[in-house]
């Protein structure tokens, strides 16, 4: 047996956006074992949501669980609260929620791709991707009024309507973005240097993905066709808006990049369909009821399935709120997928998981 070394990465590291600690046990260059510590950013949001805040305020608090997918959190919470209140929201509100979720997915996926490029050592591609990503931030600002914390979904509907000029601007900017996306897709697909760091690295098989209950692009890259958008139609009509499932088979970093790139095309077509067929209805349902009973909601955030459980007790304050974020499901597989890879590839693998520790730890 070769000599084993322990290499810590984190909590503060250039390749990490968030505090996350991995302890790699390596033999020569190969990683044989990994320990992860993912709870650096545990703040106690679940408790505060059931004690400090009223149920209408909670939708703004849960947005602060994660800045990258705040719209997914606020929407999932609003949906679960609407289930407890037993109200149905107008169709236009549903479409506007989907619109913002898809725009958010574009910016989140582009951020992840740029981060993979940076951690693979391809600084120029990082800059290029970040440059192209700015259009989605500007559009989100035009629609919601803020660049990252949108506070767009509220209990009963959405907070703002979409102005026709903004809708036109979205379509125009998307047309402008298409050739840029082609360029990025070409680099991520065909660049030889990048492929050395990405192809065959950090792979997991479909069986492992099933066994460890992986979700999101991580699972879809391994050939497991799971996507909440493919499932229910009653909360948000994804299929009506033109959703298509994207899967790859090899399960490595390259496949995860490809899944993200191809999902961008799907998101863009969904956004176009939504804007072209936006129904004319009010945007909120008013109610004076109080939440009662139990409900669960699942929603596809950029990183996978987001799960909310809520229990109400006919008062302003909820009895219990449980948030399960996508990365939480992937922690077990994240630790597995390092095994057998070189230590030098670890940063690229970490970035390709697209981990969101704020979501996981709450």
Partner 1 sequence: MNKIATSLDTVQEDIGRFYDPEQHHFMVMNAVDLGQQLEIQWFFSHYAPPYDTTTFFALASPDATIPSIRSIVASAWVAEAELVDLMDIRIEGSEKGFVLEPDFDSGPLRKNK
Partner 2 sequence: MKLATYRKKSPWILHYNAGGCNGCDIEILACLAPKYDIERFGMINTGNPKQSDILLVTGPVTKRSRERLVEIYAQMPEPKVVVACGACASTGGVFRGMYNCEGGVDQFIPVDVYVCGCGTRPEQIIDGVVQALAILEQKNKDMEASVRLNTQPIAEDEQLNRRHVAASITPTPTV
- Positions in the binding site for partner 1 (CB under 8 A): 39, 42, 44, 46-47, 210-213, 215, 226, 231-232, 294-296, 298, 305, 307, 309, 311, 319-320, 322, 324, 328-329, 331-333, 361
CA nearest to 309, candidates 362, 68, 318, 153 = 318
Residues 244-273 that bind partner 2 (CB under 8 A): none
CA distances to 161, 177, 263, 296 from 110, rounded to whole Å, are 26, 12, 11, 30
Q: Which is nearer to partner 1, 48 or 87 (CB)?
A: 48
Sequence-distant (6+) residues with CB within 8 A of 13 are: none
Q: Which is nearer to partner 2, 176 or 339 (CB)?
A: 176
Determine if 17 is a binding residue for ligand SF4 (CB under 6 A). no
- CB 247, CB 220: distance < 8 Å: yes
Angle between helices 164-190 and 253-276 (to 10 degrees): 160
Q: Which is nearer to ligand SF4, 329 or 358 (CB)?
A: 358
Residues 110-139 that bind partner 2 (CB under 8 A): 111, 114, 127, 130-131, 133-134, 137
Burial class (CB in 10 A: 0-12, 13-18, 19+), 17: middle
CA distances to 188, 253, 256, 348 from 132, rounded to whole Å, are 14, 21, 19, 21
- Mind giving me the DSSP string for 311-325? EEESSSS-SEEEEE-
Site for partner 2 (CB under 8 A): which residue of 32, 36, 61, 278?
61
Q: How far is the CB of 183 from partner 2 (least distance, A)?
A: 15
- What DSSP character marks residue 200? T
**Residue 317 structure tokens:** 């304050």
CA nearest to 268, candidates 154, 152, 179 = 179
**CA–CA dist 69, 303 (Å, integer):** 9
Q: Which is nearer to partner 2, 48 or 284 (CB)?
A: 48
- CB 349, CB 22: distance < 8 Å: no
Burial class (CB in 10 A: 0-12, 13-18, 19+), 3: exposed
**Residue 235 structure tokens:** 């909360």
Beta bridge partners of 158: 153
Partner from ligand SF4, partner 2, partner 1, none contacting 331, C-beta within 5 to 8 A by type = partner 1
Partner from partner 1, partner 2, ligand SF4, none contacting 232, C-beta within 5 to 8 A by type = partner 1
Q: Which is nearer to partner 1, 22 or 126 (CB)?
A: 22
Contacts with ligand SF4 by CB under 6 A: the residue count is 4
Q: Which is nearer to ligand SF4, 73 or 109 (CB)?
A: 73
Q: How far is the CB of 43 from partner 2 (least distance, A)?
A: 5
Q: How far is the CB of 115 from ligand SF4 (least distance, A)?
A: 18
> Which residue stretch of 16-24, 173-181, 207-215, 222-230 sits at the interface with partner 2 (rule: CB under 8 A)?
16-24
**Residue 220 structure tokens:** 């879809």
**CA–CA dist 148, 142 (Å, integer):** 12
Partner from partner 2, ligand SF4, partner 1, none contacting 185, C-beta within 5 to 8 A by type = none
Q: What is the greatest pairwise CA distance in the chain? A: 69
Q: How far is the CB of 42 from partner 1 (least distance, A)?
A: 5
Residues 115-154 that bind ligand SF4 (CB under 6 A): 148-149
Q: Which is nearer to ligand SF4, 53 or 188 (CB)?
A: 53
The 37-76 site mask, x for binding ligand SF4 (CB under 6 A), equals: ---------------------------x--x---------
Q: Which is nearer to ligand SF4, 58 or 348 (CB)?
A: 58
Residues near ligand SF4 (CB under 6 A) are 64, 67, 148-149
């Amino acid at each position: 047996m070769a000599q084993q070394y322990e290499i810590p990465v984190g909590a503060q590291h250039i390749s990490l956006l968030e505090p996350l600690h991995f302890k790699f046990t390596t033999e020569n260059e190969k990683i044989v074992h990994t320990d992860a510590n993912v709870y650096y950013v545990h703040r106690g949001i679940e408790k505060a949501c059931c004690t400090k805040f009223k149920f209408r305020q909670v939708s703004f608090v849960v947005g602060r669980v994660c800045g990258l997918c705040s719209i997914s959190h606020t929407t999932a919470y609003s949906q679960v609260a609407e289930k407890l209140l037993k109200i149905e929201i107008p169709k236009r509100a549903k479409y506007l929620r989907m619109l913002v979720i898809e725009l958010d997915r574009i910016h989140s996926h582009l951020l992840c791709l740029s981060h993979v490029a940076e951690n693979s050592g391809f600084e120029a591609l990082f800059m290029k991707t970040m440059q192209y990503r700015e259009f989605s931030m500007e559009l989100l600002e035009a629609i919601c009024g803020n660049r990252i914390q949108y506070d767009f979904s509220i209990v009963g509907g959405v907070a703002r309507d979409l102005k026709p000029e903004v809708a036109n601007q979205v379509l125009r900017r998307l047309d402008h973005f298409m050739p840029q996306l082609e360029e990025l897709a070409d680099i991520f697909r065909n660049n030889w240097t990048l492929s050395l760091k990405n192809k065959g690295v950090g792979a997991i098989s479909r069986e492992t993905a099933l066994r460890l209950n992986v979700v999101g692009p991580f699972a879809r890259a391994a050939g497991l066709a799971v996507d909440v958008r493919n499932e229910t139609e009653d909360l948000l009509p994804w299929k009506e808006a033109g959703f298509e499932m994207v899967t790859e088979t090899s399960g490595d970093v390259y496949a995860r990049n490809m899944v993200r790139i191809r999902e961008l095309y799907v998101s863009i077509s969904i956004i176009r369909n939504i804007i072209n067929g936006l129904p004319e209805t009010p945007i909120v349902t008013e109610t004076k009821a109080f939440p009662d009973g139990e409900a669960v909601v699942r929603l596809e955030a950029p990183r996978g399935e987001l799960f909310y459980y809520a229990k109400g007790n006919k008062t302003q304050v909820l009895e219990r709120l449980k948030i399960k974020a996508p990365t939480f499901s992937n922690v077990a597989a994240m630790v597995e997928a390092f095994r057998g890879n070189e230590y030098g590839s670890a940063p690229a693998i970490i970035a390709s998981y697209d981990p969101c520790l704020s979501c996981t730890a709450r």
